Amino acid sequence: MHLPPLLLSRTPAVQLVLAVLAPAILGLLAGYLLTAGTTAYVVVSVLAGLGGLAAGFEHPTAGEGAARGLGGGAVFGATLLLGAALTAEPATVTLPEPPGLLVVFTVAFGVLLGAAGGALRSRADRATG
């Protein structure tokens, strides 16, 4: 089985795109979609979660995957709030109060998904020798 390269083996530019820009763009999109309806927002949020799991898979251990998830979850949550603030339309999805609590949730889910991805990578590395 061919495994994707580890994040640290990639160029710094690719690392920046994968670790910062991707969650930021998804967060902005999710924030904008708060005004478009629940379905669109949930679809992007699920895609972001799958991205968090995949991001963790770019790390050799659950701990390193969790650290990546912490950063990705923080960026996603913060830019989601930014995207929501930039829209002039009222949100159709209810956010927690205070809104900053959303970042706590996205970080928690990011850590869990990143750790799961790192654990899966560790298992795959052992299986492939």
Measured distance CA(11)–CA(25) in Å, rounded: 20
Question: Residue 68 is encoded by which pair of tokens?
Answer: 């990546």
Measured distance CA(7)–CA(13) in Å, rounded: 11
Query: For residue range 105-128, what is the model confidence (pLDDT) as tens digits?
Result: 999 999 999 999 999 999 999 998
Query: Which pTM does this prediction carry?
Result: 0.94
Question: Residue 92 is encoded by which pair of tokens?
Answer: 């159709």
pLDDT > 90? residue 94: no
Query: For residue range 15-71, what is the model confidence (pLDDT) as tens digits?
Result: 999 999 999 999 999 999 998 888 999 999 999 999 999 999 999 999 999 999 999
How does residue 93 score in pLDDT terms, banded at 50, 70 and 90?
Answer: confident
Measured distance CA(1)–CA(90) in Å, rounded: 47
